[in-house]
Amino acid sequence: MRKFGTLSAWLTVGMGIKRWLVLLIVGVALVGFGITHAVLNTLGLHFIIDLPLFAEIIFSGVIISVGFSLVIFSVVKLSRNILAPYRQNKQGRVADIVYAHRSRQKGIKMVAIGGGTGLPSVLRGLKEYTSNITAVVTVADDGGSSGRLRRELGILPPGDLRNNIAALADDESLMTRLFQYRFDGGDLGGHAFGNLFISALAGVTGSIESALIETERVLNITGRVIPATLDDVHLSASVCIPGKSQPVHIIGESKITEAGGVIQEISLIPPNVAAYDESVQAILDAGLVVIGPGSLFTSILPNLLVKGIAEALRASNAYVVYVCNVAMQPGETDSFTVAEHVSALERHVGRGVIQAVLANNAYPRANAGSNTNYVQPVPEHHDILKRYEVRYADLTDDQRPWRHDPQKLVAAILEMSQEERIGSSHAKEAVTEY
């Protein structure tokens, strides 16, 4: 009875299924009739009337052609009606959508590490090429909506997780826009709806891991977003402040850049927090890892300092690219060149973590404003040029040139990755021949 009930549901008036199903049956019947007619005539048997052989062949061919046309037409219509609820935000032909979906599924396994507003720019571009994306995100944020929820509910700060989940979702979806909506008044003033949503789900499901899985399911994102660690971690920094004879010790991610000094060193409290197992495994399984862009000291290094992350990067066979910021960040990387960004990474996590550096070499003044100071290239003959491949490209967004353009950025990353794979393949062939 249950099977009959399911079948009758498909045949409900208004479903747009019955007419195309009937047409499909008619088409199959015509194809069968045409083939049968042709076979009988080749055996000298006349199925209906006695016609010359060539006329019988033409008749059979016409019947078969009409039948095939009806079958193809009805299948296309059935597919559109059945798939329509699952592609509300996807425009274009079904075949193109399916092909694009399959192509992304076969895309390179990729991990992006960072946080803040920089990492989403990578994810927005990459989701068009691969669905095998894992974003490993910092959870050391203690300011704004995330900081309030962290203090009041005792959960991991959801802000950076939310931004990157939204970046992997459909930008035009109403749910995505709702997820990023920020209340501007009352007790909820300053809170993003997505932060509240993730926090509520963490309470319902019992863990932030489960909450992220359910959130990703609701937004139907491409890839996944996971924290670098599940531990409650805070940032600590040694900052040289003008007028102070000794470096000042500052605790709290939101307070570090507000100090207005030069950051000497960044560390985690507690210092030995363990990496989330899923983050480590994603890095080990990846073919490409992108670190950044984002705030060097408050978004990128907090991930790399988590015990197990840098070790996994060294052990992984992935091609690891560090994406340097387009512009200097006040209170964090004032006057930094590309070389000083990389040197700061080395001071904190050592060498051997990255293989290549991608940096911007375009410095437009249109739309830049007076506060944009572009990060300058590595000085000639600098030591890091001996250790890393340094690649330059125009990565600036036309409207907000202090930020990366997702399409330009991803095009440059994929070009580097492709060249690396080709180079590695040639090297293996040479070793084999030798």
State pLDDT tens for residues 422-433: 876 554 455 445
Region 324-328 average pLDDT: 96
- Secondary structure of residue 240 in the 3-state scheme: strand
pLDDT recorded at residue 34? 82
Region 35-45 average pLDDT: 74
292 neighbors 324 (Cβ within 8 angstroms): yes
Q: How confident is the model at residue 2 (pLDDT cuts 50, 70, 90)?
A: very low
Is 411 a residue whose pLDDT tops 50? yes
Region 305-331 average pLDDT: 96
Q: Give the Cβ contact number of residue 341 at 10 Å.
A: 23
d(CA 105, CA 130): 6
Q: How confident is the model at residue 106 (pLDDT cuts 50, 70, 90)?
A: low
Strands 262-269 and 234-240: antiparallel
pLDDT recorded at residue 76? 82
CA distances from 302 to 18, 139, 141, 236, 374 (A): 58, 8, 10, 10, 24
pLDDT recorded at residue 428? 46
Q: Average per-residue pLDDT in the chain?
A: 85
Q: How confident is the model at residue 244 (pLDDT cuts 50, 70, 90)?
A: confident
Q: Quick: pLDDT tens for 155-182.
A: 999 999 999 999 998 876 788 889 999 9
Q: How confident is the model at residue 260 (pLDDT cuts 50, 70, 90)?
A: confident
> Within a 13 Å sphere around the CA of 413, how many CA atoms are in the beta-carbon half?
31
Q: Which domains does the chain have, with CATH numbers?
A: 16-86 (no CATH), 96-138+228-233+270-434 (3.40.50.10680)
Region 257-274 average pLDDT: 91
Residue 55 DSSP class: H
117 neighbors 143 (Cβ within 8 angstroms): no
Provide the Cα torsion 45, 47, 52, 56; round to 10°.
Answer: -120
133 neighbors 222 (Cβ within 8 angstroms): yes
Q: Of all helices (H) and strands (E), which one includes residue 37?
A: helix 18-42
**Share above pLDDT 70 across residues of the chain, in percent, rounded to a whole number:** 84
Region 254-266 average pLDDT: 88
Is 105 a residue whose pLDDT tops 80? no
Is 307 a residue whose pLDDT tops 90? yes
Single-letter code of the amino acid located at 382:
H
Q: What is the reported pTM? A: 0.76
